[in-house]
């Protein structure tokens, strides 16, 4: 069975091959984007984009996936008006009594 690590290694190899092709063709923008994508994979950051029309349940879906019903505001009227990112972080320590 293919593991995440083996898939990751395969994709990193593809980045190298594609970057060589982009460089050979002088495709600078493609090379820049490939380098950025490769770096994200090396950093072990997976970026998932959720986009859609207004009021289609994006925030509701994200709250369900992240297990926090109060994380993104959900409303029948416009609730999320700006591009918003969520990232994992260590919880703040509780204030000492």
Ligand X SMILES: Nc1nc2c(ncn2[C@@H]2O[C@H](COP(=O)(O)OP(=O)(O)OP(=O)(O)O)[C@@H](O)[C@H]2O)c(=O)[nH]1
C-alpha span between 73 and 57 (Å, rounded): 11
Q: Which stretch binds Mg ion (CB under 5 A): 23-31, 37-45, 77-85, 88-96?
A: 77-85
CB of 74 to ligand X, least distance (A): 4
Member of 43, 45, 59, 82 binding Mg ion (CB under 5 A):
59
CB of 16 to Mg ion, least distance (A): 38
Other beta carbons within 10 angstroms of residue 65's beta carbon come to: 12
C-alpha span between 86 and 34 (Å, rounded): 23
Task: Supply angle C-alpha 64, 46, 31, rounded to 5.
Answer: 145
**If contact means CB under 5 to 8 A according to the sort of partner, which of ligand X, Mg ion, none does residue 55 touch?**
ligand X
54 near ligand X (CB under 6 A): yes
């Amino acid at each position: 069975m293919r593991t995440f690590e083996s898939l990751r290694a395969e994709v990193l190899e593809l980045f190298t091959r594609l970057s060589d092709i982009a460089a050979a063709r002088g495709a600078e923008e493609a090379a820049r984007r490939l380098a950025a994508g490769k770096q994200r994979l090396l950093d072990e950051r997976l970026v998932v984009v959720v986009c859609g029309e207004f009021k289609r349940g994006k925030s509701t879906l994200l709250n369900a996936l992240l297990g926090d019903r109060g994380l993104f505001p959900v409303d029948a009227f416009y609730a999320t008006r700006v591009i918003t990112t969520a990232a994992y972080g260590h919880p703040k320590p509780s204030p000492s009594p």
